[in-house]
Amino acid sequence: MSIPWSQTLRALASGTAALLLASCGGHAGSSNHDILITAAKPDRLFVIDAGSRSITHEYRIPGADGWLGGIVLSPDGRIAYVLVNHMESIAGIELSSGKQVFRADLSAPGERVKCLFAFDVSPDGKELVVYENPTQLKADEYVVEEPRFAVFATNAGLEAKAARTYPAPRRVHMILSKQDGKSFYALGFELYEYAFGDGKLLEQRGIRSWDHPGHSIPDLLAVWPVTEGTGEFVTPIYSNATVPGGPAGGVPTTSLMTLDLKNGALTYQDFEPTAALIFSAVGSPVRKEAFGVYSALTKVDTAQGKLAKRVNLDHTYYAVNLSTDGSEVYIGGAMCDVGFYDAITLEKKGNLRLPGCPDQALATLRVIHHP
Amino acid sequence: MKHLLLRCLVLLGPAFALPALAAPPDPSAVRAHCSGCHRESSPGHFDRISDMRKTPEGWEMTLFRMHQVHGVVLDDDARTQVLRYLTSVGGLAPAEAAPARFALERRPNVQDLSLGDEMGVMCGRCHSLARAALQRRDAPEWLKLAHTHVGQWPTLEYQQSGRDRFWWESATKELPAKLAALYPLDTPAWRKWSAGTHASPVGRWLVWGHAPGRGDYHGTAVIAARGTDGYSATYTLTYADGTALNGTSKSVVYTGYEWRGSATLGQDDVREVYALSEDGARLSGRWFVNGHAEVGGDWHAARAEGAPAVFAVLPRALRAGAATEVVVVGRGLGTSPAFGAGVTASAVKALPDGLHATLAVAADAAPGVRPVTAGGARNADAAVVYAKIDRVVIEPQYGIARVGGGKVAPVIGQFEAVGYIDAAGKPGGIALGPLPASWSVAPHDEQAKAAEDVKFTGTMDASGKFLPAVAGPDPQRPFSGNNVGDLAVIGTVKDGDRSVSGKAHLVVTVQRWNTPPIY
């Protein structure tokens, strides 16, 4: 698949844009009780009250070593599991106190283990399944080993060791627990479903071998496992679609892949010839809509499979989420602010700049609803 | 045959009989600093180290990585000794390095090697293919390099240039044997070269070259031995406009032919990447400014002693109906250079590197390539007579510049307007060389126009040099975007009362954060 150079580069080049907007406090008239969680380099974890656009807690994650990435929440919203230490550790931070209550350091002497973004907690909150990419460090060579899934008990404390491991395919970038707690999905070359208990491969469905006639092998890599509002994972997926009378190589096309974690339903829906990059997406709990973000905020009408609205942003954001009532879009990642947008009009409603302008980089923007 | 050989030896002169000053390979520094991890599995054979061959730059990158990733600390002496040993026992023969020397010479805007689709996607998406082509390993060691790639950079399989394929499978199952077939460790060329005695660069040299945007230069170099294993050089050079380009250099010759010098040349501190020809008669390559590898010049040198020879005419293009001041670089040129019918030389003056002459070119002198003879020597295509410039081609046709700022210097874009005349039997015409031109930039396409790329990306100076803008978010641009863009470069050459223009494409792009000696 190819996106015109200039479009790609312009979009990428905007990723370092500075943000001079100040915090807009005093969001009035909202019944919004959402709490947002984000993280920023080198080691900061933020708890944000979405309604008042204010930070309620700021914590330091021990041993982050300057790098942090994905955030996964415990089902009760008490603990944030954060990938830190250059993908080699997962820290569980209690959100009420900032205390580290869980720690899995994946590497060991002679073996460096990286978690390539993919980890999730089981629906009962008792286990954490982590995708591990191990490399043997020998005196004068690296020996790349086969990847594996490692399952940790979340009550294993600060020196957690895997309770069990089982083989995994290469190049998995996301793990999503199915809501029945019996299995989890791994996204990589294909969509794999594994039994939580014994790691048995239950099913393998298309991503690379997707059943989407007239489309090339697609490209998919989103590392923001946002599902809390709907129980569905929605992500952009790119391919070249054959169009009657169109160019020989096909037309670059953006589709949405939706995986329902309640029942495993998997759908692909085209919605536009690729006109803007989208890094991550989220579905709406109240309307047949999805929202995607990068240097523009995109709203997709998923009932009709078409672009509903798009607005350019001040700079690039990687992460997107939606308020529990579906009225507000939250955007974060990439730089040092969280943006608040009206889900109907895509009008900017507010902005919260993180103190010191730290780099959120790949951090997931998560939502916890407090009724 | 014997007679010919003797004659050649006589012609080559005494400098060629001297062996290079390189000391015999001494493994003690490698034994002291590397064998802690790289086991000396048999005397002088260090695991992994002895299983590959590279250029001096390749080994420098290895030492850099050993320092940065594995904490190896070498002082300057130890580093030099280690580098000498590695390049002596694990270098590339001249013929092996030749196809990819452009990468060592850091030539900007060159076309990379073409090694087929598979190599293109597996290696060429991140590296120049020259980088692979400048290494020699057997299949097991190429396999270990695949492990190094993913072991050290585990996101490799995930990034856009890797994830569209079963990268690891290809890299470990198919590619090692293919790379080993293309670039094996043990080759006849290396066996022969590493067993041979190599020429010394010591002596007097005639020098000529071209610095894009600045012009032709010429003069002499004197190279002397420095210490036990290095060289020093003194340059007495002049640009075509008379500006001095003098300098001095300190160099080391690795692998028996790889001249690497640190020099001052005119106002600049430069790096010299030259190759001594296998017969020791030529020293050629490119010099470039420290910190701005894209700024530099071609370098040609030939021994000052030897049989008469015409090496170059500067400038090469002679306009019919005009008088042109030229320098002929060569040896034993005498006082009567000849450029063919309709060209008359006068005011011939001897120079240390050849001669200077004023050429009167008749208005009806036949256009085309002219052989040049002087002192009994002949160069079949040293000059071109032209009556009219038929075309101007801007070089490079496709160029890259990079915005700069902070710790990363900008990468400038240097363009030249090369004139051509049409000629029967020569489909591409005959090149006249770079000609003086006036310069401008314009939007490359509608998108560039809408984004006002001309306004934001930088400025073009009078010498065809594009100076990129400062990097970083620009609040005046959409998305606070960087000052990147897409430009057309237009160069216009005056040809009597006419103007002839050419156009090229310039992409002004983002900084390159990782700038190793071999991309």
| CA dist list (Å): A299 to A271, A310, B248, B301, B503 | 10, 6, 64, 65, 42
Do A170 and A228 fall within a single domain?
A: no
Q: CA-nearest residue of chain B to A312? A: B479
Do A154 and A259 fall within a single domain?
A: no
Nearest CB to B481 within list A14, A217, A219: A14
**Domain boundaries, position B319:** 309-386
User: Is B170 part of a structural domain of the chain?
Assistant: yes
Domain termination site, one of B386, B421, B448: B386
Question: Which residues from chain B sit within 8 angstroms of residue A140, using beta carbons?
Answer: 37-39, 47-48
Interface of B with A in 116-155 (CB under 8 A): 144, 146-148, 150-152, 154-155
What tokens does B159 get?
A: 């990034």
Nearest CB to B48 within list A5, A140, A316: A140
Question: Which residues from chain B sit within 8 angstroms of residue A135, using beta carbons?
Answer: 147, 150-151, 154
Do A86 and A38 fall within a single domain?
A: no
Backbone φ and ψ for A244, nearest 5 degrees, come out as -55, 125
What pLDDT is attached to residue B379?
98
Do B39 and B151 fall within a single domain?
A: yes
Tally A–B CB contacts below 8 A. Answer: 105
Secondary structure string (H, E, C) spanning chain A:
CCCCHHHHHHHHHHHHCCCCCCCCCCCCCCCCCEEEEEEECCCEEEEEECCCCEEEEEEECCCCCCCEEEEEECCCCCEEEEEECCCCEEEEEECCCCCEEEEEECCECCEEEECCCCEEECCCCCEEEEEEEEEEECCCCEEECCCEEEEEECCCHHHCCCCEEEECCCCCCEEEECCCCCEEEEECCCEEEEECCCCCEEEEECCCCCCCCCECCCECCCCCCCCCCCCEEEEEEEEEECCCCCCCCCEEEEEEEEEECCCCCEEEEEEEECCCCCCEEEECCCCCEEEEECCEEEEEECCCCEEEEEEECCCCCCEEEECCCCCEEEEECCCCEEEEEECCCCCEEEEEECCCCCCCCCCCCEEEECC
How far is the C-alpha of B365 from the C-alpha of B361, rounded, in Å?
6
Q: CA-nearest residue of chain B to A315? A: B479
Domain termination site, one of A205, A235, A264: A205
Interface of A with B in 40-79 (CB under 8 A): none
Residue B242 pLDDT level (bands cut at 50, 70, 90)? very high
CB contact under 8 A, B158 and A114: no
How do residues B141-178 score in pLDDT, each as one tens digit?
Answer: 999 999 999 999 999 999 988 999 999 999 999 999 99
User: Is A83 part of a structural domain of the chain?
Assistant: yes
DSSP B155: G
What pLDDT is attached to residue A371?
72
Closest listed residue to residue A149, CA positions, set A125, A176, A130, A123: A130
| CA dist list (Å): A127 to A39, A70, A106 | 22, 17, 15
How far is the C-alpha of A62 from the C-alpha of B178, rounded, in Å?
47
Domain termination site, one of B386, B418, B452: B386
What pLDDT is attached to residue B4?
38
How far is the C-alpha of B315 from the C-alpha of B418, rounded, in Å?
12
Residue B23 pLDDT level (bands cut at 50, 70, 90)? low
What pLDDT is attached to residue B406?
81
In total, chain B counts a number of residues equal to: 519
Residue A22 pLDDT level (bands cut at 50, 70, 90)? very low
Task: Please say if the pLDDT value at position B463 is more than 90.
Answer: yes
Alpha carbon of B147: minimum distance to chain A alpha carbons (Å): 6
User: Is B160 part of a structural domain of the chain?
Assistant: yes
b or e along A121-139 (b: 16 or more beta carbons within 10 Å of the residue's beta carbon)? bbbebebbbbbbbbbeeee
Interface of A with B in 151-170 (CB under 8 A): 170
Instruction: Report the mean per-residue pLDDT for chain B.
Output: 93
Task: Please say if the pLDDT value at position B8 is more than 70.
Answer: no
Do A35 and A66 fall within a single domain?
A: no
Helix, strand, coil % in chain B, rounded to nearest 5: 25, 40, 35
Task: Please say if the pLDDT value at position A20 is more than 70.
Answer: no
Whether the Cβ atoms of residue B258 and residue B55 lie closer than 8 Å to each other: yes
User: Is A106 part of a structural domain of the chain?
Assistant: yes
Whether the Cβ atoms of residue B218 and residue B30 lie closer than 8 Å to each other: no
CB contact under 8 A, B148 and A221: no
Q: What is the mean pLDDT of residues B473-495?
A: 93
Whether the Cβ atoms of residue A185 and residue A176 lie closer than 8 Å to each other: yes
Question: Which residues from chain B sit within 8 angstroms of residue A335, using beta carbons?
Answer: none
How far is the C-alpha of B203 from the C-alpha of B12, rounded, in Å?
12
Domain termination site, one of A205, A234, A251: A205
How far is the C-alpha of B507 from the C-alpha of B484, rounded, in Å?
8
Nearest CB to A170 within list B39, B157, B482: B157
User: Is A51 part of a structural domain of the chain?
Assistant: no
User: Is A295 part of a structural domain of the chain?
Assistant: yes
Percent of chain B with pLDDT over 90: 91
Q: How many domains does chain B have?
A: 4
Do B412 and B341 fall within a single domain?
A: no
Interface of B with A in 394-433 (CB under 8 A): none
Do A70 and A185 fall within a single domain?
A: yes
Instruction: Report the mean per-residue pLDDT for chain A.
Output: 91
CB contact under 8 A, A14 and B478: yes
How do residues B295-338 score in pLDDT, each as one tens digit?
Answer: 999 999 999 999 999 999 999 999 999 999 999 999 999 999 99
**Domain boundaries, position A131:** 61-205
Do B354 and B458 fall within a single domain?
A: no
Do A121 and A223 fall within a single domain?
A: no
What pLDDT is attached to residue A1?
34
Percent of chain B with pLDDT over 70: 95
Edge-to-edge strands of the sheet including A366-369?
A54-60, A44-49, A34-40, A366-369
Q: CA-nearest residue of chain B to A2? A: B160
Question: Which residues from chain B sit within 8 angstroms of residue A113, using beta carbons?
Answer: none
Question: How many other C-beta atoms lie within 10 A of the C-beta of residue B361?
Answer: 22
Q: What is the mean pLDDT of residues B384-389?
A: 97
* Chain B interface, best mutation among A144, A148, A171, by max B CB count within 10 A: A144
CB contact under 8 A, A140 and B47: yes
Cis peptide before A42 (omega within 30 of 0): yes
Question: Which residues from chain A sit within 8 angstroms of residue B38, using beta carbons?
Answer: 139-140
What tokens does B451 get?
A: 């984004």
CATH number at residue B267: 2.40.128.120
Question: Which residues from chain A sit within 8 angstroms of residue B481, using beta carbons?
Answer: 10, 13-14, 17
What tokens does B387 get?
A: 């009556």
User: Is A371 part of a structural domain of the chain?
Assistant: no
| CA dist list (Å): A235 to A118, A324, B257 | 15, 19, 56
CATH number at residue B482: 2.60.40.10
What tokens does A102 get?
A: 């869980």
Please give the radius of gyration of chain A, using alpha carbons only, rounded to the nearest integer: 20
Do B298 and B329 fall within a single domain?
A: no
| CA dist list (Å): B485 to B183, B400, B433, B446 | 38, 10, 29, 12
Interface of B with A in 32-51 (CB under 8 A): 37-39, 47-48
CB contact under 8 A, A9 and B484: yes
Nearest CB to B147 within list A143, A217, A219: A143
User: Is A95 part of a structural domain of the chain?
Assistant: yes
What pLDDT is attached to residue B228?
77
Name, in order, each residue with C-beta under 8 angstroms of B185's C-beta and a sequence gap of 6 or more. Answer: B51, B52, B53, B136, B137, B138, B141
Do A162 and A303 fall within a single domain?
A: no
Task: Please say if the pLDDT value at position A21 is more than 50.
Answer: no
Backbone φ and ψ for B96, nearest 5 degrees, come out as -75, -35
Task: Please say if the pLDDT value at position B234 is more than 60.
Answer: yes
Do B60 and B165 fall within a single domain?
A: yes
Q: How many domains does chain A have?
A: 2
Alpha helices in B225-333 (DSSP H): none
CATH number at residue A249: 2.130.10.10
Whether the Cβ atoms of residue B209 and residue B221 lie closer than 8 Å to each other: no
How do residues B392-431 score in pLDDT, each as one tens digit?
Answer: 999 999 999 999 988 899 999 999 999 999 999 999 999 9
What pLDDT is attached to residue A11?
37
Do A164 and A257 fall within a single domain?
A: no
Q: CA-nearest residue of chain B to A313? A: B479
* Chain B interface, best mutation among A10, A112, A174, A297, by max B CB count within 10 A: A10
Residue A199 pLDDT level (bands cut at 50, 70, 90)? very high
Q: What is the mean pLDDT of residues B453-466?
A: 98
Nearest CB to B158 within list A16, A143, A173: A173
Question: Which residues from chain B sit within 8 angstroms of residue A116, using beta carbons?
Answer: 154-155, 158
User: Is B187 part of a structural domain of the chain?
Assistant: no
What pLDDT is attached to residue B91?
98
How do residues B206-222 score in pLDDT, each as one tens digit?
Answer: 999 999 999 999 999 99
Domain termination site, one of B386, B414, B435: B386
Name, in order, each residue with C-beta under 8 angstroms of B359's C-beta and a sequence gap of 6 or more. Answer: B318, B323, B324, B325, B326, B339, B343, B344, B345, B346
Task: Please say if the pLDDT value at position B460 is more than 50.
Answer: yes
Burial of A110 (0-12, 13-18, 19+ CB in 10 A): exposed
Task: Please say if the pLDDT value at position A3 is more than 80.
Answer: no
Nearest CB to A171 within list B147, B157, B509: B157
Task: Please say if the pLDDT value at position A370 is more than 90.
Answer: no
Q: What ipTM score was computed for the predicted complex, to two decimals?
A: 0.89
Q: What is the mean pLDDT of residues B361-382?
A: 97
Closest listed residue to residue A203, CA positions, set A217, A219, A220, A191: A191
Q: CA-nearest residue of chain B to A137? A: B151
Alpha carbon of A343: minimum distance to chain B alpha carbons (Å): 20
What pLDDT is attached to residue B219?
98
How far is the C-alpha of A56 from the C-alpha of B304, rounded, in Å?
79
Q: Which of A88-102, A116-130, B5-19, B34-48 has the lowest mean pLDDT?
A: B5-19
User: Is B20 part of a structural domain of the chain?
Assistant: no
Task: Please say if the pLDDT value at position A338 is more than 90.
Answer: yes
* Chain A interface, best mutation among B37, B46, B157, by max A CB count within 10 A: B157
Q: What is the mean pLDDT of residues A28-38?
A: 73
CB contact under 8 A, B154 and A133: yes
User: Is A56 part of a structural domain of the chain?
Assistant: no
Task: Please say if the pLDDT value at position A27 is more than 50.
Answer: no
B427 Rama sector, left if φ>0, alpha if ψ -120 to 50, beta otherwise: alpha
Strand B292-303 and strand A79-84: pairing?
Answer: unpaired
b or e along B166-189 (b: 16 or more beta carbons within 10 Å of the residue's beta carbon)? bbbebbeeebbebbbeebebebee
User: Is A264 part of a structural domain of the chain?
Assistant: yes
How far is the C-alpha of B76 from the C-alpha of A91, rounded, in Å?
43
Burial of B504 (0-12, 13-18, 19+ CB in 10 A): buried
Q: What is the mean pLDDT of residues B248-270?
A: 97
CB contact under 8 A, B148 and A141: yes
What pLDDT is attached to residue B24?
65
CB contact under 8 A, B151 and A133: no
What pLDDT is attached to residue A87?
97
Beta bridge partners of A332: A319
Task: Please say if the pLDDT value at position B19 is more than 90.
Answer: no
Task: Please say if the pLDDT value at position A10 is more than 70.
Answer: no
Do A238 and A187 fall within a single domain?
A: no
Whether the Cβ atoms of residue A172 and residue A131 lie closer than 8 Å to each other: yes
